[in-house]
Amino acid sequence: MTIELSGSSAIVGLGETDYLRGTDQGVLELVLDASMAAITDAGLHPEDIDGIIPPGGYVTSEEIAANLVIPDLRYSASVQMGGASPTAALQSATMAIATGVATNVLVTFGWNGYSAFRRQKGNEHQPRRRGQETPFIDISRHYYAPLGVRAAAQWYSFYLRRYVDLYDVQPEDAANVALACRRHAHLNDKAQMGGREMTLEDYLASPPIADPLRKFDCCLETDCANAVVLTSAERARDLPHQPVLWLGGAEGHPFPADDITNRLDILKLGIDTAAPRAFSMAGVSPRDMDVLEIYDCFTYVVMMQLEALGMCEPGGAKEFVADGNIELGGRYPLNTHGGLLSQGHCWGLNHIVEATRQLRHEAGPAQVPGAELAAVTGYGDLGDGSVAVLGRDR
Amino acid sequence: MTDGATVRRYVPRTTGLHRDFYLHTLAGGLHLQACEDCGERQHPPRYYCRACRSKALSFKAATGTGTIYSFTVSHFTHDPGWAAAAPFGTVVVETDEGPRIVASWLGANDDIRIGTRVRIVIEPVNEAFGMLQAEAL
Ligand SMILES: [Zn+2]
């Protein structure tokens, strides 16, 4: 028996904290605040939630249930894909709902992505949770870390170097991604970089981090939390907001996922296998999208994902991101909230929140007129990928 | 690479197959896992052969030479022990046996080129770990 998943679930509630550099709130409190906001936005009460999916490590389903007083938790799971986890979790939530295992599922993520790495006056007594060991810890600690290579910017540069060489991608090309996100951030009250202008000259003058990455290719360290609530498409139609349907989604893992350097094709990411599955399930083409919410940990990684999604041919991203095509007013507005690069880093759950706002037609000055379809990607660890195709319920 | 001596660099407490890799490599130069059933060479070490899934794997000496496949130059590092060395080069070397390894670059950063022939040099750090380094041939 196959259960039809496409269109069976809907996002019905959204919650987000501010995106901060420095807070005296620990990760658990941030997650609870975002979760309570999402449940309230959905027109539900905490006791209506019977499934919780947080990414592994920072907070547990049981802590959330204990604090929000959810006495009968029926389904708890975590996805272990780093930044690809929240978008992959939409698939897990949909499976739980479609099979009747759970009714209303909370997908949440939060972290002290800034404060956990810094002791500051005022937060000395907060628990500093940094998350659990990564799925690739054995390889990383034996072969990368002893060489001073301990950051995502350094790991990914091993394939980004091949990518920029193969397709002659210049910093001016990647700058288009950073500049689009920054311009969109100016429209978003919650964006960290709102009002802080960035020009191409600023971008080019930003210091090198790990060749080919420079500072303005990199996302922002952030303290924040987001949450969304999913339920069945049927129940969604009785709740306060315009339902946003999960039309299709998939996760993908490069092989081997735990070591970047020994892949058969070092340029193939998890998104490459996830995207065709997600669009096929949704029954739509990448070119049908009205809004793109692409996991922008680094500008060049956005470009590779656009190619993997099928928005353009391999090597075509540098043309795709040029000439305002990915800015509001262009054909494929990308990261209309400012993204990880200019709003803040919430592991891409903020991309799901923004895609949902766009499809509700509640995105304010960043609204893409008449948006019906959005693609969201997640990217994490050493190249894991997830995709969700979302659509406005008609 | 003895700079950064004032601040200690991260040194892994090696475990499992990875410890075996470093023990063999410290004793006899770069070693790579080899499959006794099909001859496949692989890295990092695994419990099953990636070609035939045999468990009959052992560490065999490699030539210790290869070609730069990719690289980065880090201007920033989370490891305070490496901060003084920045900017430092790290190269991905495709060994002549096939598997790729990551190594610190011994030489000027401007000289790193994909395709450059290199030799792997092991710098012993303790009885069960040595740093993999690469120098131009
Ligand atoms: Zn074999």
DSSP string, A88-145: HHHHHHHHHHHTTS-SSEEEEEEEETTGGGS--TT-TTS--------TTHHHIIIIIG
**Coil, helix or strand for B27?**
helix
Average pLDDT of the segment spanning A31-55: 97
Q: What domains does chain A contain, in order, with CATH numbers?
A: 9-115+219-392 (3.40.47.10)
DSSP label of A206: S
| β partners of residue B90 | B72, B104
> pLDDT tens digit string along B63-113?
999 999 999 999 999 999 999 999 999 999 999 999 999 999 999 999 999
Give the residue carrying structure tokens 């972290």: A111
| Interatomic CA distance for residues A4 and B74, integer angstroms | 48
| Residue A121 pLDDT class (50, 70, 90 cuts) | low
3-state secondary structure of A179: helix
Q: Is B127 part of a structural domain of the chain?
A: yes
Asked whether residue B10 is assigned to any structural domain, the reply reads no
Does residue B1 register a pLDDT over 50?
A: no
Cβ atoms of A68 and A32 within 8 Å: the answer is: yes
B65 CB within 8 Å of a chain A CB: no
Q: Which of B44, B103, B129 lies closest to A259 in CB terms? A: B44
Task: Specify whether the CB–CB gap between A371 and A362 falls below 8 A.
Answer: no
pLDDT at A351 over 90: yes
Closest partner CB to A139 (pick from B44, B69, B70): B44
Report residue A31 as tokens: 């997650």
With respect to residue B7, please indicate whether it lies within any of the assigned structural domains.
no
Tokens of B75: 């201007």
- For residue B98, the CA-to-ligand 1 centroid distance in Å is 14
User: Hey, what are B118's tokens?
Assistant: 């290199």
Give me the residue from B16, B21, B74 closest to A148, CB to CB. B74
Q: Summarize the confidence of residues A302-309 as an average pLDDT.
A: 98
Give A263 Cα–ligand 1 centroid separation in angstroms. Answer: 17
Residue A248's pLDDT is 98
* A contacts of B18 (beta carbons < 8 Å): 138, 142-143
- What confidence category does residue A173 fall into, taking pLDDT thresholds of 50, 70 and 90? very high
Task: Work out the average pLDDT over A223-248.
Answer: 98
Helices (H), A125-283: 137-139, 152-167, 171-185, 200-205, 233-236, 270-282
Residue A389 · residue A373 · CB < 8 Å: yes
- Whether the CB-CB separation of A54 and A78 falls below 8 Å is answered with yes
Dihedral sign for Cα atoms in the order A302, A350, A153, A84: negative
B23 reaches A (C-beta below 8 A): no
Query: In chain B, what residues touch A138 (CB-CB under 8 Å)?
Result: 15-16, 18
Looking at residue A343, the DSSP 8-state letter turns out to be T
* pLDDT at residue A2 tops 90: no
Domain-embedded: residue B64: yes
Q: Which of A11-15, A51-55, A377-381 has the lowest mean pLDDT?
A: A51-55
Q: Per the domain annotation, does B11 fall within a domain?
A: no
Other C-beta atoms within 10 Å of A155: how many? 22
- Domain CATH for B122: 2.40.50.840
Between A296 and A121, whose confidence is greater? A296
- Other beta carbons less than 10 A from residue B123's beta carbon: 14
Q: Which H or E run contains A374?
A: strand A373-380
d(CA A18, CA A20): 6
Q: B9 vs A146: CB contact, 8 Å cut-off?
A: yes
Decide if B69 is inside a domain: yes
What is the pairing mode between strands A9-16 and A223-232?
A: antiparallel
Range of the domain at B20: 16-136
Band the pLDDT of A127: cuts 50, 70, 90: low
Q: Is the pLDDT of residue B2 over 60?
A: no
Question: CA-CA distance, A115 to A132, in Å (whole number)?
Answer: 16
Question: Chain A closest CA to B58's CA: distance in Å?
Answer: 19
Q: Which helix (H) or strand (E) holds A307?
A: helix A299-309
Mapping DSSP to helix (H, G, I), strand (E, B) and coil, where does residue A76 land?
A: strand
Q: Check pLDDT > 90 for residue A294.
A: yes
Question: Is residue A84 a contact partner of residue A250, using CB atoms and an 8 Å limit?
Answer: no
Q: Which residue, A2, A238, A234, is CA-closest to A99?
A: A2
As a whole number of angstroms, the distance between CA B35 and CA B33 comes to: 7
Domain count, chain B: 1
Which CA distances in Å does B27 have to A267, B18, B59, B60, B98? 35, 14, 12, 12, 21
Q: Is residue B99 part of a domain?
A: yes
Compute the distance between CA of residue A33 and CA of residue A250 in angstroms, rounded to an integer.
28
Here the ipTM equals 0.95
- Domain-embedded: residue B8: no
* Segment 82-121 of chain B within 8 Å of chain A by CB: 82, 85-88, 90, 92, 99-104, 114
Average pLDDT estimate for A175-180:
98
CA of residue A336 to ligand 1 center, whole Å: 49
> Quick one: which H or E segment has residue A35?
helix A27-41
Taking the C-alpha atoms of residue A100 and residue A232, their distance in angstroms, rounded to an integer, is 10
Record the tokens describing residue B68, joined without a space: 């730069």
Provide the 3-class DSSP secondary structure of residue A355.
helix
Nearest-CB residue to A150 (from B77, B85, B132): B77
Amino acid at A304: M
State both tokens at A233: 């498409």
pLDDT of residue B4: 44
Contacts of B12 in chain A (CB under 8 A): 141-142, 145-146
Q: What is the dihedral of CA A300, B91, B73, A182, to 10 degrees?
A: 10
